[in-house]
Amino acid sequence: MEIVLATRNKKKIEEIRRITADHPVAILSLDDYPHCPETVEDRDSFEGNAVKKAVEVCQCTGKASLADDSGLEVDALGGAPGVYSARYAGGTGAGSDVRNNEKLLSELANVPDEKRGARFVCCMALAYPDGTVKTFFGYAEGCIGRQPRGKTGFGYDPVFIPKGYKRTFAEMSGQEKDSLSHRGKALEKLAEFLRSQLHL
């Protein structure tokens, strides 16, 4: 079975290939389909954006397509940055992770430790050419630290401390983070679904 990942993000492609390595699934990416346009993520939920991306790529390629939309929800900010996580400080590209983290920490400067609860959310959508769409959710609960720590990962990893740990995601190895992360959990559910479909 071939699945096209609705992304050109090398880290996401690597991670998904690693987690699906034991399955009879060939993982392709948008790099294999350069004619497919970028999806405009204009929905107001992670599920809405993931489904839109998966369906558009499925229609463009004629193959089953997998998309994810992920982000950070902070309790003290009423669930922000949410679907705007990647462009929280305005814009994307070089330096945007640093600017996003700086904005988040400045907005939480006066929030006490016990009220800094947060979670990463991931929605994965799998779209088939017959119009069927399946969604899988993963969550990672934790809190926001006082300053960035660690050099691995990307996005909000340097400020997010998962529940039950004292280190940020950016202070963990890729494998350790995968076992706790929102994307890892959503991919586990996807893998379970694929096993049931392929009768493994």
Please report, in tens digits, the pLDDT of each residue of the chain (200 residues total): 889 999 888 877 887 887 777 777 888 999 999 999 889 889 999 999 999 999 999 999 999 999 999 999 999 999 999 999 989 998 777 778 999 999 999 999 999 999 999 999 999 999 999 999 999 999 999 999 999 999 988 899 999 999 999 999 999 998 898 889 998 899 889 888 988 876 65
**What single-letter DSSP state applies at residue 65?**
E
pLDDT at position 9 is 80
Longest distance between any two alpha carbons in the chain, whole Å: 53
Asked if residues 177 and 153 have their Cβ atoms less than 8 Å apart, the reply is yes
pTM: 0.89
Closest CA to 55 of 19, 4, 93: 4
Catalytic residues: 69
Q: Which helix (H) or strand (E) holds 69?
A: strand 64-74
pLDDT at position 24 is 73
pLDDT at position 129 is 96
For the chain, the domain total comes to 1
Say how far apart CA 113 and CA 147 lie, in whole Å.
12
Q: Which domain holds residue 134?
A: 2-197
Torsion angle, alpha carbons of 56, 119, 98, 87, to 10: 30
User: Residues with Cβ < 8 Å from 23, sequence gap 6 or more?
Assistant: 191, 194, 195, 198, 200
User: How is residue 174 written in tokens?
Assistant: 């890729």
Backbone angles phi, psi at 85, to 5 degrees: -50, -45
What CATH number is given to the structural domain containing 40? 3.90.950.10
